[in-house]
């Protein structure tokens, strides 16, 4: 089985959200015949998942708008999440009927894919028991979060996904309690590679590592999305 890849570059959140829904509908109907991985960066946006708690958004909608930050309520699980340029967002459109029909299993596989991908650029990362996401512990013992995950599924087909901080400045995170975890320190691949004394990979290298890691975790073969299917999904 294949994992098609579609790279959208820097794309507004609403456009990518609509494309995910079209892709999920196409996967459910069979018009999209293989699983799909959408790779994208977004302009600054705060998204509120179904589990967002009062007080986890630290700025008013009006203040966010004045700062050029969008605010969206979305159907994914999880708490408040940030997207901003320099962060790699990966949206797997996976038909779990062809894998394992278990969202907890799916979350662990997404984590595993990111962990495997980052290992290839020199970062040893891990899970934290009871917390969804991917974490790194630096040489001084500081535990930081690199990737946040929130998903949704219909008819066992997934959308939404994982946000990996690669080279973003983390400025937008000041407006939230990231992922609803008090005291969490967010970091980036670039920062943690520097702390670990590892060469900082370029954007393309991280993107390819993440795609390969996710494909490996789901036992899929990476394949470019055929243009007719890309045109169908773009609408």
How many beta carbons lie within 10 A of that of residue 212, not counting itself?
A: 16
pLDDT at 77: 87
Residue 164, both tokens: 């990996």
Longest dimension (CA), the chain: 50
**Which residues are 145's β-sheet partners?**
135, 186
pLDDT at 78: 85
SS3 letters for 48-103? Answer: ECCCCCCCCECCCHHHHHHCCCEEEECCCCCCEEEECCCEEEEEEECEHHHCCCCH
Catalytic residue among 67, 125, 179, 193: 179
Asked if 217 and 194 count as a contact pair (C-beta separation under 8 A), the reply is no
Q: How far apart are the first and last CA of the chain?
A: 25
Q: Which residues of 165-181 are buried (b: 16+ CB within 10 A; e: fewer)?
A: bbbbebebbebbbbbbb
Q: Which domains does the chain have, with CATH numbers?
A: 2-234 (3.30.930.10)
pLDDT at 186: 92
Asked if 57 and 24 count as a contact pair (C-beta separation under 8 A), the reply is no
Residue 8, both tokens: 């959208």
Asked if 198 and 123 count as a contact pair (C-beta separation under 8 A), the reply is yes
How many beta carbons lie within 10 A of that of residue 16, not counting itself?
A: 18
How many beta carbons lie within 10 A of that of residue 210, not counting itself?
A: 26
Report pTM.
0.95
Low-confidence ranges of the chain (pLDDT < 70): 179-181
Residue 34 gets which letter from DSSP? S
pLDDT at 138: 82
Residues with Cβ within 8 Å of residue 160, at least 6 apart in sequence: 20, 74, 75, 76, 91, 150, 151, 152
Question: Is 125 in the active site?
Answer: no
Angle at 70 between CA 66 and CA 76, to 5 degrees: 155
């Amino acid at each position: 089985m294949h994992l098609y890849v579609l790279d959208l570059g820097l794309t507004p959140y609403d456009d990518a959200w609509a494309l995910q829904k079209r892709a999920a509908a196409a996967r459910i109907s069979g018009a999209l015949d293989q699983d799909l991985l959408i790779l994208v960066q977004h302009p600054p946006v705060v998204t509120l998942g179904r589990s967002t708690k009062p007080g986890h958004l630290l700025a008013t909608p009006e203040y966010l708008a004045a700062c050029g930050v969008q605010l969206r309520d979305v159907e994914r699980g999880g708490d408040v999440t940030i997207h901003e340029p320099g962060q790699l967002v990966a949206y797997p459109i996976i038909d779990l009927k062809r894998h394992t029909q278990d969202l907890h299993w799916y979350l662990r596989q997404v984590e595993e894919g990111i962990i495997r991908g980052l290992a290839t650029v020199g970062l040893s990362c891990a899970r934290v028991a009871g917390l969804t996401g991917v974490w790194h512990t630096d040489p001084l013992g500081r535990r930081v979060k690199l990737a946040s995950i929130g998903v949704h599924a219909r008819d066992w087909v997934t959308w939404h996904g994982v946000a990996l901080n690669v080279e973003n400045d983390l400025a937008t995170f000041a407006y939230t309690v990231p992922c609803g975890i008090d005291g969490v320190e967010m970091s980036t691949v670039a920062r943690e590679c520097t702390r670990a004394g590892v060469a900082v990979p370029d954007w393309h290298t991280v993107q390819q590592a993440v795609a390969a890691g996710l494909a490996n975790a789901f036992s899929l073969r990476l394949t470019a999305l055929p243009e007719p299917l890309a045109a169908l999904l773009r609408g």
